[in-house]
Structure 1
Amino acid sequence: MIHITLPDGSLREYDQPLSVFEVAASISLGLANAALAGRVDGVLVDCGFLIECDARVSIVTSQEPDGLEILRRSCALMLAMAVKQLHPNTQLRAGSALGDGFFYEFAFQRSLTLAALPVIEARMRELAATNHSIRRQEQTPTERLSLYRLGDFEGFAAGPHVPTTKVLQAFALDHISGTLQQRIYGTCWPSQQELDTWRAPPQVVVVNIDERQSDYAHSVTEALRRHGLRANSDLRHEKISRKIRQHSQKVPYLLVVGEKEKDGGFVSMRSGSGEDFGEKGIEAVCDLLNPPKTGGA
């Protein structure tokens, strides 16, 4: 007998080993449909992970940060499959979730331009509609990357991943950088409504100087959103001058973060027109851009 302890402390008994997905299905059909992965004794695992002994189990959905990251990581894998189908001689480098979205890096025989993105995105939508399963095949000796199969495509990636492509519906590709070795960037959300909200013109954009500040820049963006601001982040592997120049033309405010800002827990603030507001804490930025409402007489 296998005893499964759920997050609310309740205990369930099963007479044979079962997968995380089967645990979710035994609780409710709705939870099974929403399941992206599981957490077994605190460790994130795929829905297909087999539970063979007593464990504490929770089901991961897109309503929590880990679920969102898994959703975006899986969209990166689907991007790799789409590119490989369209450009068979392309070499795959690596992909990952990144901030509000994902990226995958490729080595192309001939550089792609922005004009290629709608074609790649259309192929991704075909893959999502076909509802391919995403299954972990084997672990590498480093225990960091696993071989995943998506339809007839195989690639090494950090897991876990969503069980099928049907949940990857609200996504968009928005940028490509580099020359022969290029990164394609996109965003992915649990619903079309959330994707549309993300696409709305932001009040402020957070830009990082290099990849070392990606996590901090994203945490700043999340903090701004919790204060009711329309905030996005640009975490692309691009020169900071290029990112500032691009966003200055259409965004009222920019928050720049480098190592100094990350270590100090603040940002360097400037307006789109170039006015320098200096170093500011997150609360100070929120008070400036979204001042507290005071009661009327």
Structure 2
Amino acid sequence: MIHITLPDGSLREYDQPLSVYELAASIGFALAKAAVAGRVDGVLVDCGFVIQGDARVSIVTPQEPDGLEILRRSCALMLAMAVKQLHPSVLLLKGSALGDGFFYEFALQRTLTLADLIPIEVRMRMLAATNHSIRQRPLSATEQHSVYCMGDSEYLSKGPHVPATKVLQAFVLDHVGGTSLQRIYGTCWPSQEELERWRTPPQVMLVNIDERQIAFTQSVTEQLRRSGIHAHVDLRNEKIAHKIRVHSERSVPYLLVVGEKEKHGGFVSVRSCSGEDFGRMKIDQVCGFLHPKDCGV
């Protein structure tokens, strides 16, 4: 007998091993439909992971941060498949969730433009509608990185991933950058409604100088959102001057810049789209500066 302890402390008994998805289905149809992964004794696993013995298990959905990251990571995988189908000579390198979205990096003989994103996004929607399964292939004795199968192709990728592409519906590609090594960026959300809400003009845009500030910049973004501020984050692998110029031209009211000094000091540099410099501020100061009513200031 296998004993499964759920997050609310309730205990369920099963007479044989079962997958995370089967566990979710035994709890309820809606939960199984929403499941993108599981957490078994604190470890994130795919829905196909088989629970062999007593464990503490929770079902992960896109409504929690880990689930949303998995959704976006899987969308990056679907992006890779679409690019490979449209450009067979492409060399796929790496992809992942990033900030509010995802990216995939690759090498291609010609430089892609924004116009090239249209057929790629169309192909991604076809792949989502076809509902390809995404499953992890067992590793051989010499392999060190997880391999996921989607369609007839295999991809080196960190997991977990969603069980199938049908859950990847609310996404859009919005940027391509680089020359010899190119990256396509996009965003993905659990629902079209959430995607449309994200696409409304933000009150503030956070930008990092390089990848060393990614985690801190994302955490500041989440703090501002919890305070009722409509914040976006740009973690693309682009020069900071370019990111500032682009978002200033788009008339984003305020830009929050994060470098190493800001990260270690726990603050951000605040400027307006017109170039006015408000100096460095702690996060609670930023919150009060941008939205004093919601911040209790």
Tell me, yes or no, whether TM beats 0.5.
yes
Aligned residues: CA RMSD = 1.6
- Counterpart residue number, 2:219: 219
Matches within 5 A, 1:187-226: 187-226=187-226
- Counterpart residue number, 2:34: 34
CA contact (8 A) 1:125 1:169 kept: yes
Matches within 5 A, 1:47-126: 47-126=47-126
- Counterpart residue number, 2:279: 278
SS at match of 1:292: helix
Distance 1:166 1:154, change over 3 A: same
SS at match of 1:245: helix
> How far off is 1:88 after superposition?
0.7
Amino acid at match of 1:241: A
> How far off is 1:139 after superposition?
3.3
> How far off is 1:258 after superposition?
0.5
- Counterpart residue number, 2:177: 177
CA contact (8 A) 2:227 2:294 kept: no
Distance 2:117 2:100 in 1: 18
Pairing 1:289–2:290 present: yes
Distance 1:262 1:273 in 2: 24
SS at match of 1:188: strand
> How far off is 1:293 after superposition?
7.1
SS at match of 2:229: coil
Distance 1:252 1:10 in 2: 48
Distance 1:71 1:292 in 2: 33
- Counterpart residue number, 2:14: 14
CA contact (8 A) 1:145 1:159 kept: no
Distance 2:279 2:34 in 1: 44
1:177-226: CA deviations, max 9, x gaps? 10121000000000011111111011110000001111111111111111
Distance 1:69 1:160 in 2: 10
Amino acid at match of 2:65: P
> How far off is 1:79 after superposition?
0.3
Distance 1:144 1:185, change over 3 A: farther
CA contact (8 A) 1:144 1:158 kept: no
SS at match of 1:63: coil
| More moved, 61-70 vs 219-228 | 219-228
Q: Percent identity?
A: 72
- Counterpart residue number, 1:266: 267
Pairing 1:251–2:252 present: yes
- Counterpart residue number, 1:127: 127
Amino acid at match of 2:285: A
SS at match of 2:120: helix
Amino acid at match of 2:267: F
Distance 1:140 1:192, change over 3 A: farther
Distance 1:80 1:19 in 2: 27
Amino acid at match of 2:276: E
> How far off is 1:141 after superposition?
6.4
Aligned residues between the structures: 295
SS at match of 2:244: helix
Amino acid at match of 1:87: H
> How far off is 1:2 after superposition?
1.1
CA contact (8 A) 2:228 2:294 kept: no
Amino acid at match of 1:229: I
Amino acid at match of 1:258: G
> How far off is 1:142 after superposition?
8.8
Distance 2:138 2:163 in 1: 16
CA contact (8 A) 1:138 1:148 kept: no
> How far off is 1:145 after superposition?
2.9
1:122-177: CA deviations, max 9, x gaps? 00000001111100002376986311111112111000000011110000000011
- Counterpart residue number, 1:232: 232
| More moved, 136-145 vs 20-29 | 136-145
| More moved, 135-144 vs 203-212 | 135-144
